[in-house]
Amino acid sequence: MKARIIRHCCCVASALVVVAGLHAQDAGHASAPSMGTMTFRGMAGIVTSMTSSQIELSVPEHVVFAVKLSPSTQILQDRTAAGLDQIQVGSAVLVRGTFDLQDRAVQAESVTLMPARGAMILKMRTANYGITWTAGVIAGVQADSISVQRMDGNLQTLQTDARTAYVLRQQPVTRAELRAGERIVVVLDRGNARLADKITIQGMAPN
């Protein structure tokens, strides 16, 4: 049997990347999936509308976040300071700050303009969400499948098998690390969108 081909996605296209240091809780204390307040390394998306105090950001998970701007919010391009007027509707940006996943709001610490091709990558990621990849909070772990509560409200059930790869903190782990309540990003099998090819565990979602 031929080895399965795993698709690796550019990190700049990942919509949510949880900060390091979030530790999985004991399985006996796992709670139902929740979408509370967390700090992320970044959220990439496309600007759909904006004012001087807020940006509406569409992310590949098929939801829109309200990005709150303040006088202390840094606007960056090519690692240098930029003006808010350089951000336009259709721009691809990376937002850092504190995210309220339930209210879909962000208190932005910085907004970074991404290269022009970033918008193309994000649009492709959006079109392929739920088809070649998915993400969300584990709602349940079964013998040969997992259910994932997605940010768009849909519950997606995925099969796992002996070839499914598991990653935690950039290191390979076993399926035993999967717990209800953990945030994951999943690369789906090329020939079967219901089969998980690679599951990256990002940490426990807040209660």
Those residues with Cβ within 8 angstroms of residue 186's Cβ, 6 or more apart along the chain or in another chain: 133, 134, 135, 148, 158, 196, 197, 198, 199, 200
Taking only the tens place, the pLDDT of each residue in 32-51 is 344 445 555 689 999 999 99
pLDDT band at 6 (very low <50, low <70, confident <90, very high): very low
Full domain range(s) for residue 58: 37-125
Residue with the bigger pLDDT between 179 and 10: it is 179
- Residue that terminates a domain, selected from 125, 145, 163: 125
Domain count within the chain = 2
- Say if residue 45 is in the same domain as residue 113: yes
Average pLDDT, integer, range 179-193: 95
Residue 5 lies in a domain: no
Residue 7 lies in a domain: no
- Say if residue 152 is in the same domain as residue 192: yes
- Residue that terminates a domain, selected from 125, 146, 162: 125
Residue 160 lies in a domain: yes
- Helix, strand or coil for residue 182? strand
- Residue that terminates a domain, selected from 70, 94, 125: 125
How many angstroms separate the CA atoms of 39 and 31, rounded?
20
Provide the pLDDT for residue 206.
67
Residue 8 lies in a domain: no
Average pLDDT, integer, range 158-175: 97
pTM: 0.73
Whichever domain contains 184, its CATH number is 2.40.50.320
Q: Average model confidence (pLDDT) for the chain?
A: 83
pLDDT above 70: percentage of residues in the chain? 79
**Residue 88 amino acid letter:** Q
pLDDT band at 165 (very low <50, low <70, confident <90, very high): very high
CA distances 12 to 1, 125, 141, 172, Å, are 33, 11, 29, 22
- Say if residue 121 is in the same domain as residue 150: no
> Would you give the DSSP letter of residue 43?
E
CA distances 161 to 35, 94, 129, 142, 199, Å, are 28, 34, 21, 12, 12
- Say if residue 137 is in the same domain as residue 192: yes
Looking at the predicted structure, is the pLDDT value of residue 167 above 80? Answer: yes
Record the tokens describing residue 182, joined without a space.
């953990």
